[in-house]
A and B are shown apart, each in its own frame.
Chain A
Amino acid sequence: MPRIAVDAMGGDFAPDEVVKGVATVSLESEIEVVLVGDSARIQALLDEGPYNPEIISVRHCTSSIGMAEDPHEALRAKRDASIAVAARMVADGEADALVTAGNTGAAVLCAAKNFKLIRGVRRAALASVYPRETELPGQDVFGLLLDVGATIRCEAAELAQFAVMGSAYARRVSKQPSPRVGLLNMGREEGKGGDVLVEAHRMLRELPSIHFVGNVEGNDVATGRADVVVAEGLLGNVVLKLLEGIGEAASHLAAQAAHDSWRVRLGMAMLAPGIEKVRDMTDFSTYGGAPILGFERLCIKAHGRSSARAVANAVKVAAKAVRDRIADEIAESVAGIR
């Protein structure tokens, strides 16, 4: 069984929701989990609910990195931070993968500092899953967007590698035999977007190992046109935050409208079951987290606002990725394009 190191102190609702999520996993599966963090706080939380102590161990450490802290500074000052200890455990082979809902920058830095890049991989990519419309039968309701911030500016070859890595991950985790890969651009035409994107388009088109569907525009991201959307970190991050922002703004606007008018309230009440269904389908907690791809060791970055359910699913995704030997799959795919 895979052993997953979980950063117990990382996330907006840590350690409570993280520990609860791990306790849930311990009752539902045989996945072994090492909770890394303040041992006394972790045990006090475990004591509050049902759990299986036989597959949970605790690695005590004294500090943690806050969500708003500068990751460089914080990691320099806190060598004993839970995320750093968890990453070292994975690097040393004490655990097979790392799961954290904590500071994204710190997660990326810890992975970069402790894990080796897969041979041939030039840059690691931080992926993110997002809810989207599906167009084809069997498509996952979540798309994969990478990179969303690990590498700010990329070369064409790096974007091509991101596509290969994302495709390998989607093949294994989303069980899509041939995931559709799109390159995020300002137009569908292959000559758009400047030298890097034009060159990346050419390289992707010539890669036999992936199902490249061409350039995708911003309005394609939320559709099922591509299962894997590739972008350089700056652009990917902007798109991700835009998606989240629009979702939140829509919720606020609806709440405001309902507050102002009883007709809207009535209409929303009638639509409530449908809204609830959509919310359930697109709830990020069902997916758990997204990987940092390109390292020999796996790190799953869960959403900062992860609930216990999201953490539990992130641990399951990590275990599945370990069992499915994602890193080996990526290594083979990358070797195939060299």
Chain B
Amino acid sequence: MSPRDSQPAADGAGEGEPSIVFRWDLDKTYLRTEFESLRKLVLIPFEAATEKVHLPGVPQLMGGLRRAALARGDRPFVFFLSASPPQIGAEIRKKLALDGIEYDGIVFKDQWRNLVRGRFRSIREQVGYKLGELLRGRRDGPRTREVLFGDDWESDPVIYSLYADVLAGRLGGDRLAGLLDRLGVERDAVHRIDRLAREIAGDGPGEGVLRIYINLERRSPPSRFKAFGPRLVPAFNYFQTALSLYEVGVLDAVGLGEIAGALHERGWSGERLRNSLDDLVRRGHLSAETADRAILVLHRDGQDLQSASERTLGARAVSAMLRLRRRMARSQPEAKEPGPIDWETLVEHWVAHRSG
């Protein structure tokens, strides 16, 4: 059973054809996998596709991103990268088909090979494995803008941010090797990553990664991710993720409405969605203007995102509040470009506090 599936050739997008890559983690990002206990962990390989549960709004988000990309004239690529063994691959592929998700590649971790070679540390190690696979995917696949989706369960924020800074030309060589060593990556994996990083360095500097979305499945405190800068958006649900993607123009209004609708069907009230939106604004990951636009767009789509106050106060008061909020937003200073990540401090902190 191959750990890799249908990785496209480097010219898969066609020479000069605009494209965008979406890279997804599987467990806790797309699927509600439960591996909190050994019993649940053992049962995962025996789960049928029909028993696997996706997180609310994810299939709609994937569909919306694809449609919006095609509408813009971008060719979308969807890749999955998982630390699960390839033995669960068949059921995962069935589940993706059940959810109507089109994808271009999926990579699993070859745990059997690690076991046979007696590399027990590699079985648990995530950073070296995932970063290596991301870079390999970049080398062999389309070299274009990317949006990454992960979760707060293990080390996705660190892995994705390292990857983004390598692509941007801000990280490499001895500094990268030192950081990986501190993160517990094995020496041969560090060498492999260094080689891959040099191979793609020819692309020249530039922001390859547009955004990193971290699904707060564990409800980790958002402050934990501040050091990663504004490129990384910790989101409590996929409506928040969709709002941010709507703001950066990767998702359109139709897609946003579909995700809100999907969550609504799963029990999210308009009030809950509104609170999620306001939370994202307060945390600085969504502008007040986009928030207002999203509320109007969703209202036209039949989704009522009025807060309790607005319902009580009536439409005139709502308009007044929106005007006030827009004025306040305009009076705020322009957001400054984030400084570079202080990787040494961040990694020390991450190593000291990581639980996965």
Contacts and interface: CB of A to CB of B under 8 A. Distances in A.
Is chain B found bound to chain A in the same assembly? yes
Interface of A: 3, 27, 32, 34, 39-40, 43, 46-59, 89, 92-95
A194 to B, nearest CB: 47
A243 B352 CA distance: 46
Contact of B307 (A46, A52, A57, A93): A57
Given A3-B308, A59-B309, A94-B312, A54 B278 contact: no
- B interface, size bucket: 20 to 34
Contacts of A93: 312
15 contacts: A3-B308, A32-B271, A50-B221, A52-B236, A53-B275, A53-B276, A53-B279, A54-B236, A54-B273, A57-B274, A57-B307, A57-B308, A89-B309, A92-B312, A94-B309
Contacts of A95: 308
Between A32, A46, A51, A53, the greatest number of chain B beta carbons within 10 A of the residue's beta carbon is seen for: A53
A34 B283 CA distance: 17
B223 interface: yes
A34 B223 CA distance: 21
A43 B285 CA distance: 13
B282 A55 contact: no
A39 B284 CA distance: 12
B278 A57 contact: yes
A39 B219 CA distance: 21
A40 B283 CA distance: 9
B220 interface: yes
A247 to B, nearest CB: 35
Interface string B252-281: 000000000000000010011111101100
A54 B283 contact: no
A250 B176 CA distance: 61
B222 interface: yes
B221 A55 contact: no
A94 B222 CA distance: 28
Contacts of A52: 219, 236
Interface string B235-264: 011000000000000000000000000000
B350 to A, nearest CB: 17
B276 A54 contact: yes
A41 to B, nearest CB: 11
A318 to B, nearest CB: 16
A337 to B, nearest CB: 34
A94 B279 contact: no
Contacts of A27: 219
Given A54-B268, A55-B275, A59-B309, A47 B219 contact: no
Contacts of B268: 54
B238 to A, nearest CB: 12
A47 B283 contact: yes
Given A57-B275, A59-B309, 14 more contacts: A3-B308, A39-B282, A47-B222, A47-B283, A48-B221, A51-B219, A54-B237, A55-B272, A56-B279, A89-B309, A92-B312, A92-B313, A94-B308, A95-B308
B275 to A, nearest CB: 5
Given A32-B271, A50-B220, A52-B236, A58 B282 contact: yes
Contacts of A59: 309
